[in-house]
Amino acid sequence: MSEKLNQLKEILGEVSDLNHAASVLGWDQQVNMPPAGGEARGQHLATLGKISHQKSTADEVGKLLDDLKQEFTGSDSDDAALVRVAARDYDKATRVPSEFVAEQAVVTSAAFEAWVEAKGKSDFSIFRPHLEKVMDLVHKYVSYFPPTEHPYDVLLDDFEPGMKTSEVKEIFDALRPQQVKLIKDIRSAKQVKADFLHKKYNEKKVWDFSEAISAKFGYDFGRGRQDKAAHPFETSFSVNDVRITNRFEPDSPLSTLFSGMHESGHAMYEQGINPAYDRTPLAHGVSSAVHESQSRLWENIVGRSLPFWEHFLPELKKTFPSQLDGVSAKAFYKAINKVEPSLIRVNADEATYNLHIMLRLELEIGMLEGKVAIKDLPEIWNAKMQEYVGITPPNDAQGVLQDIHWSSGLFGYFPTYALGNLVSAQLWEKINKDIRDLDEQIRKGKFDALLGWLREKVHVHGHKFDPQDLIQKVTGSKINSAAYVRYLTKKYSEIYSL
């Protein structure tokens, strides 16, 4: 290994350490920190962010990368990938002043605390001034980059490297009419009974059952843990410290099981990355869509399948005998896949979920273009929910305030949720060609072969490949909606006898 590569890795390792220290503070803010600690925590994060940014954008790093790019031209080695990804990160980071990074940390930390309060009180006016500041920073961030086909491209690229807004719109435009037709067909069919899902369930027992499922999947609790937070998430500090959070909703008690599966999918991806990549830019998932494909695969394609509940329902019925008395595996399967318009994105069924994402994409682009005013968001949100999903939120908490993302400045992130759904179905078709008895394995509660396949084909590579290249390499095609439409059509045709 060259001396220059060693020098680069040392600097990148220190940047990684700083960023992970900030992530620990971010995890603590959402899990343990008292509300009054928000202002100080913002300063802590600002300081770490500024130091990390200064270190990662130092002239020394640029010179090392220039030399190493020449050295590794034409190579497909891990080190060549590290240099390529680091050079891309450096190019983006050097366009953004350290002062901006520090300001963003302060503003978003305060915005998060305001969002928690606003959501609790269902009062958008509490969050509005903070979101306006966040949006000002989003505009400023975009201004640091050369003009693109659409300004949203700059934001999208942070989460889905190389993808354009026009490509996302093209994919969504192809998908939307097919999902709308499916929903229309389902509405005219005999509806599914699901009242037993909304009975009173003991929170501790549901929580423990969730952890048991995650462990059975292969989430290593020796290198992870599950805690409570206002919004479920996964965060990674190293391949040996990957944590998830979850929540319990009394009105939808079993949703804890599915959010646990979802976050476990993210976490198992991070736990499966090549340990040799630790403290480098390769030591995380390649993109948000690929990451989301892992969570949605385990939550929906596996966790909402009939074979899965043929295995797990008997144990769940032992845990909740009165709530599930007389409920068959098929009845339970149909209930957890019931299609009905819902207010909350994370609880939406697979047939309507992507419409929630399309709504948010439209609003984000509208805010960026100045066509949607922050003050009008609740009203516009409600109108769009009626247009897209067919229901109007009764309050801000169940409407415009339901997601944490905007408080964190995560504009450009939402489209990757829907893209992740598409990738999950593309992967699933390939997995079933390679593992012929997969349904039977799931019916027996065995997930080793499935996780092993994902480890080998996706997880271990971390960020070595560009996302579209990885998807093409594994499935034979880039992101498209065909496999997902086939998956939804087959599943819901059987459930609703279409």
Average of per-residue pLDDT across 325-333: 97
Same domain, 141 and 20: yes
Instruction: Examine the domain organization and report whether 375 and 476 are in the same domain.
Output: yes
Same domain for 355 and 464 = yes
Cβ atoms 364, 358 nearer than 8 A: no
Which pair of tokens denotes residue 370?
């100045």
Q: Which residues contact 409 (CB under 8 A, 6 or more apart)?
A: 104, 107, 108, 111, 134, 137, 138
Residues 174 and 130 in one domain: no
Q: Output phi, psi for 238, to 5 deg.
A: -175, 170
The pTM for the full model equals 0.91
Query: Bridge partners of 234?
Result: 244
75 and 107 fall within a common domain: yes
Residue ranges in 144-217 assigned as alpha helix (H): 152-159, 165-187, 203-217
Among 45, 141, 145, residue whose Cα is nearest residue 88: 145
Measure the CA angle with vertex 149, ends 148 and 151; round to 5°.
Answer: 60
Q: Is residue 140 part of a domain?
A: yes
At residue 121, the 3 state secondary structure works out as helix
Over residues 212-268, the pLDDT tens digits come to 999 999 999 999 999 999 889 999 999 999 999 999 999 899 999 999 999 999 999
Residue 281 lies in a domain: yes
Catalytic: which of 160, 167, 263, 299? Answer: 263
**293 shares a domain with 396:** yes
Q: What was the pLDDT predicted at 1?
A: 59
Instruction: Check: CB of residue 346 under 8 Å from CB of residue 360.
Output: no
Q: Residues 350-365: pLDDT tens digits?
A: 999 999 999 999 999 9
Nearest to 73 by CA among 59, 83, 63: 83
Range of the domain at 271: 165-496
Instruction: Quickly tell me which residue has 């979920």 as its tokens.
Output: 353
β-strand partners of 235: 243
Pick from 390, 351, 298, 354: nearest CA to 489: 351
Cα separation, 46 vs 53, in Å, equals 10
Beta-carbon-side half-sphere exposure of residue 122 (alpha carbons within 13 Å): 7
Q: Tell whether 134 and 170 lie within a shared domain.
A: no
pLDDT digits (tens, 9 = 90+) for 389-401: 889 999 999 999 9
- Asked if 165 and 149 touch (Cβ cutoff 8 Å), the reply is yes
Cα(340)–Cα(330) distance, rounded to whole angstroms? 18
Whether 336 maps to a domain, the answer reads: yes
Residue 327 lies in a domain: yes
Cα separation, 285 vs 292, in Å, equals 10
- CATH number of the CATH domain containing 458: 1.10.1370.30
> pLDDT tens digits, residue range 57-87?
999 999 999 999 998 887 889 999 999 999 9
Q: Are residues 410 and 358 in the same domain?
A: yes
Per the structure, how many domains does the chain have?
2
Per the structure block, which two tokens stand in for 198?
Answer: 């909304």
Query: Is residue 263 annotated as a catalytic residue, yes or no?
Result: yes
Choose one of 147, 180, 203: the last residue of a domain: 147
Structural domain contains residue 152 = no
Residues 234, 91 share a domain:
no
CA-based end-to-end distance of the chain: 61
| Whole-number Cα distances in Å, 259 to 214, 427, 462, 464, 475 | 10, 21, 23, 28, 26
Long-range contacts of 69-72 (CB under 8 A, 24+ apart): 71/2, 71/4, 71/5
Mean pLDDT of the chain: 95
Indicate whether 132 and 220 sit together in one domain: no
Furthest C-alpha separation in the chain: 69
Query: What is the predicted pLDDT for the residue at 96?
Result: 92
Q: Specify the DSSP class assigned to residue 193.
A: P
| Cα radius of gyration (the chain) | 22
Separation of alpha carbons 266 and 312, rounded Å: 21
Mapped onto helix, strand or coil, the DSSP state of residue 219 is coil
- Does the pLDDT value for residue 487 go beyond 80? yes
Average pLDDT over residues 176-192: 90
Q: Is residue 160 included in any domain, yes or no?
A: no
- Residues 61, 126: Cα–Cα separation, whole Å: 42
